[in-house]
Amino acid sequence: MTAGRLLLAATPLGQPGDASRRLVTALRTADIVAAEDTRRVRQLAQSLEVKPAGKVTSFFDQNEATRVPALVEAIRSGATVLVVSDAGMPLINDPGYRLVSACVDAGLPVSCLPGPSAVTTALAVSGLPSDRFCFEGFPPRKSTARVAWFQALTTEQRTCVFFESPRRLPDTLRDAAAALGGDRRVVVCRELTKIHEEVKRGTLAELAEWAADGVLGEITVVLAGAVPSADLDTLVADVNDRVAAGARVKDACAAVVSENPGAPSKRDLYDAVLRSRD
């Protein structure tokens, strides 16, 4: 018997029109639809005017581990299993990892139908650097743990994306300001792609004040990375190494300054290199 396959499919964040044709086909033809919320996927199917032909079963954090063996066996027996979360891409802070891992271990085909993601959508509209970023899921619920969580990001230079509940957002932004400084840039994206979409930009201090009166909707936060503080002795040593390798002092200083955000000016670094030789 030919094995089936596991399909991971991104679903719209809010607008059904963002659904891909491949998602519509998969909803119509999959033997099993494993959904984070069966009601939500049925509503989506209805809005897309498609009727799932296969069995729709729940697949969420609390039952994922117990569902995996049966789903793997179904795929091994030839079934196509479609995994969808409430919105966006499965596995990104949503169920699916255990099933993918089990299928990989069993040598079963795993495919993905790409599409909407709150993480990359928020990053794209944020206006913050997007060439390097990290995703951190949800911050801890308790303030003490949350402050420690942010303190661990103190030197993280990549743009950081995370989710938060609207109820906890004001406290989270205040804790972030306490740990990282109130002037760190941040963007709060609310209700992405929906009618009441809002993208609020500012500093942590400014947005903590903005959120204090309460915020509604699905929240994605994009936090600017840390600007590294350049250690002068390290930069001087870097210049001297380049000079020893054949570079001119001025050229080496220019290169080191361009590669180290927060470094002193080329003139100041040049003077420091000359002083180091006295």
In this structure, CATH architecture of domain 5-116: 3-Layer(aba) Sandwich (3.40)
**179 has pLDDT over 80:** yes
**Average pLDDT value for residue range 153-164:** 93
Instruction: Give me 150's structure tokens.
Output: 């942010």
**Average pLDDT value for residue range 161-188:** 97
Delimit the domains of the chain by residue range: 5-116, 119-223, 232-276
* pLDDT tens-digit readout, 52-73: 999 999 999 999 999 999 999 9
**1 has pLDDT over 70:** no
CATH number of this structure's domain 119-223: 3.30.950.10
Rounded Cα distance, 51 and 137, in Å? 32
**240 has pLDDT over 70:** yes
Q: What is the pLDDT of residue 121?
A: 98
**Average pLDDT value for residue range 266-274:** 92
Query: Strand 219-223 relative to strand 110-113: parallel, antiparallel, unpaired?
Result: unpaired
In the block, tokens 């989710």 appear at 163
Using alpha carbons only, what angle is made at residue 207 by residues 204 and 209, rounded to the nearest 5 degrees? 110
Q: What is the pLDDT of residue 182?
A: 95
* DSSP code of residue 5: E
When pLDDT is cut at 50, 70 and 90, the band that residue 261 belongs to is low
Q: Which of 62, 86, 84, 59 is nearest to 70 (CA)?
A: 59
| 3-class SS string, the chain | CCCCEEEEECECCCCHHHCCHHHHHHHHHCCEEEECCHHHHHHHHHHCCCCCCCEEEECCCCCHHHHHHHHHHHHHCCCEEEEECCCECCCCCCCCHHHHHHHHHCCCCEEEECCCCHHHHHHHHHCCCCCCEEECCCCCCCHHHHHHHHHCCCCCCCEEEEEECCCCHHHHHHHHHHHHCCCCEEEEEECCCCCCCEEEEEEHHHHHHHHCCCCCCCEEEEECCCCCCCCHHHHHHHHHHHHHCCCCHHHHHHHHHHHCCCCCCHHHHHHHHHHHCC
Q: What is the pLDDT of residue 143?
A: 95
**264 has pLDDT over 90:** no
Instruction: Give me 102's structure tokens.
Output: 């089990």
